[in-house]
Amino acid sequence: MNARWYIVLWWFLLAGTLPGATMHGPDKEATARAVFDRLVDAWGESSRPAPYFTLTAARRSGARVEGNLIVLEEAAYDLCMSFGAEADYALATVLAHELIHYYAGHARGGSGIGLLADPGPDDREAEADYRGGFLAYLAGYPTSNVMPRVLEGLYNAYGLPDTLTDYPTLNERKALADRTYRELQELIEVFEMAVALTALDRYGEAAPYYDHLLQSFPSREIYNNAGVVYARAALPLFQPTTLRYVYPIELDLRTRLDGQTRSLTTDRATREAYLHTARRYFERARLLDPAYAPAVLNLGSTHALLAASLLESDPDSLQRELAADRQLEATLRAREAARMGNPTTADHARVLLGILAAERRDSLAAEALLAGENPLAVENRTVLRTGHVPPRTAARQAERFIIPETVGGQGLADMRLAPEIEGSARRIENGSYPLRLVRRQPPAETVSVLHHSAADGEEELLLAWVQPGYVGTTALEIGCGQPRSRVIEEYGSPGYSIATAGGEVLVYTDHQLAFCLRNGAVASWFLYAER
């Protein structure tokens, strides 16, 4: 597939700064507060005000929730900082644990909940470990099974016996944390596969993964990504000539120019059903956080696509009036997203405004709005001027010569033969068409190897995702931290691109390779094999 497409897709690796970026300077409170703020931002729900944060020298419970205050004790901070490469994640896990207690309302009614003193019931502690671990992951911290060691270290630092009256023993709490971590890893694997399927345009298979995620973690990001899946599903159901421009939620023109054979009536009914489903998901994400710019922009693009659907085939006066209402709503949402301060999403919001101007034949306004070097603006500016997207940039290497990609010394063929990890298989319900996800033995500790398949064996995806901390490079020596320009220099233009809420994903179909970029630099990448 030689197409580039753009969606505002929230990607966990791109949610914050690159791993390991937290500084452990002399100001402990500033360091801890930076982690706390990053977690609150990743949670994103504004239906309840964010709690306050303080660091204290008092020694009582390690960390706790008191009303609308999260308290971290200096002894717990010092312990987390002693974990070396895992220090950031240890601190994030402790704070995220308390944040879940707060947002889930576990400490309401005047009673506090502490990590050591006054812990909640086992089910609430498990929920705080599980959802807190996923929150830390969404905030961009590499995961590890650190909570059992944190608990043991705190018991030692506070001089507590392994058994406390009316509390679970230390070993019981460590076992609970260990079991919860294994469940967390399963949730993360579902999320990774959902994102990869979305990135590879396999939205029919991605949808049940997001439905599964929403049962455990109904966040703005998951609702947004689920909406993207349904909006994307609607695009092939338009007539080839309807959508001239590259919306901030769609495939490039060169994919849509293939002939369409389905009934126009069926296409319209189905695509509008998909778009309305997408709209509801984006509105739900926006309800959780009115300031979440990606959902606002995606909502605007969805209204613009609904307008295009109404205008596609000889519309009557009522359809034209309804389409005008949709276009106005799209304009309002794009303007709102442009004011929200997220630079990438603001750029894409201006692109949507440029497309709307072009569709009403205001070429001067469209030119002004599509100015700049943002890749999506360049694409649409070229369409505005020539009717065609710009040609792909060739790679430095001869196109006929592709060096096989490996991770940890193994290629995808090797990883396909790797044994399944015992107990990792799980079933993702999809009505009468269930999906199966298993984890295979990875070639390195910082690599996830996931194998997705349909029950009938017809659909399959093998994924090798390089995690933060991987020190190797791709076949053309691209590693974490390399700039986008270097990727283009070595690999050429991608088969297609995905604009995310925090950066960009470049997908190279010939190489079966995708780069995840943040602030113009590579944050991670994954290899894939499809069937």
Please check whether residue 111 lies inside any domain of the structure: yes
Please check whether residue 405 lies inside any domain of the structure: no
Average pLDDT, the chain: 84
Mark whether 299 and 174 lie in a shared domain: no
Sorted by sequence, the CB contacts under 8 Å of residue 68 that are 6+ apart come out as: 49, 51, 52, 102
Residue 362: burial class (beta carbons within 10 Å; 0-12, 13-18, 19+): middle
Please check whether residue 77 lies inside any domain of the structure: yes
- Read out DSSP for 300-353? HHHHHHHHHHHTSSS--HHHHHHHHHHHHHHHHHHHHHHTSS-HHHHHHHHHHH
pLDDT for 70-92, tens place per residue?
A: 999 999 999 999 999 889 999 99
Instruction: Give the integer Cα–Cα distance in Å for 288 and 284.
Output: 6
pLDDT for 376-419, tens place per residue?
A: 899 899 999 998 877 766 555 445 568 899 999 999 999 999 99
Say which CATH number the domain at 382 has: 1.25.40
- Read out DSSP for 60-86? SSSEEEETTEEEEEHHHHHHHHTTGGG
CA atoms within a 13 Å half-sphere pointing along the CA-CB vector of 398: 2
Q: Is the pTM of this model over 0.85?
A: no
Mark whether 244 and 292 lie in a shared domain: yes
Strands of 131-246 (E only): list them: none
Last residue of a domain, one of 149, 167, 189: 189
Mark whether 356 and 488 lie in a shared domain: no
Domain count along the chain: 3
Both tokens of 223, joined, read 């609702």
Instruction: Give the integer Cα–Cα distance in Å for 449 and 168.
Output: 36
Both tokens of 92, joined, read 């994030």
Mark whether 416 and 379 lie in a shared domain: no
- Tokens 């506070």 belong to 158
pLDDT, position 393: 62
Please check whether residue 212 lies inside any domain of the structure: no
pLDDT, position 311: 94
Instruction: Give the integer Cα–Cα distance in Å for 263 and 281.
Output: 27
Mark whether 22 and 164 lie in a shared domain: yes
CA dihedral 458→6→437→468, nearest 10 degrees, is: 140
Q: Which residues of 122-136 are buried (b: 16+ CB within 10 A; e: fewer)?
A: eebbbbbbbbbbbbb
C-alpha distances in Å from residue 271, one per residue of 77, 189, 259, 266, 349: 52, 30, 17, 8, 23
Mark whether 27 and 166 lie in a shared domain: yes
Please check whether residue 10 lies inside any domain of the structure: no
Instruction: Give the integer Cα–Cα distance in Å for 21 and 244.
Output: 42
pLDDT, position 519: 73
Mark whether 150 and 290 lie in a shared domain: no
pLDDT, position 256: 30
CA atoms within a 13 Å half-sphere pointing along the CA-CB vector of 95: 34
* H helix or E strand, kind and range, residue 435: strand 435-440
Please check whether residue 406 lies inside any domain of the structure: no
Nearest 5°: the CA angle 265, 270, 273 is 130
Instruction: Give the integer Cα–Cα distance in Å for 219 and 135.
Output: 10
Residue 531: burial class (beta carbons within 10 Å; 0-12, 13-18, 19+): exposed
Strands of 112-250 (E only): list them: 113-114, 249-250
Which residues constitute the domain of residue 251?
A: 219-386
pLDDT, position 85: 85
Mark whether 149 and 74 lie in a shared domain: yes
Mark whether 378 and 419 lie in a shared domain: no
Residues 72/54, Cβ–Cβ less than 8 Å: yes
Strands of 13-141 (E only): list them: 52-56, 63-66, 69-73, 113-114
pLDDT, position 254: 26
- Read out DSSP for 476-503? T---TT-BHHHHHHHH-S-SEEEEBSSE
Mark whether 119 and 234 lie in a shared domain: no
* H helix or E strand, kind and range, residue 270: helix 264-288
Q: CA torsion sign, 479 to 480 to 484 to 485? A: negative
Strand order in the sheet with 521-530: 426-428, 435-440, 447-454, 460-466, 521-530, 513-518, 503-508, 496-499
Instruction: Give the integer Cα–Cα distance in Å for 19 and 33.
Output: 17
Sorted by sequence, the CB contacts under 8 Å of residue 361 that are 6+ apart come out as: none
Mark whether 382 and 416 lie in a shared domain: no
Please check whether residue 399 lies inside any domain of the structure: no
Residues 511/407, Cβ–Cβ less than 8 Å: no
Low-confidence ranges of the chain (pLDDT < 70): 1-26, 45-47, 107-113, 117-122, 166, 250-266, 341, 392-401, 430-433, 456-457, 499-503
Mark whether 171 and 258 lie in a shared domain: no
Residues 101/118, Cβ–Cβ less than 8 Å: no
pLDDT, position 454: 84
pLDDT, position 48: 79
Query: Comparing C-alpha atoms, which of 5, 115, 1 is closest to residue 66?
Result: 115
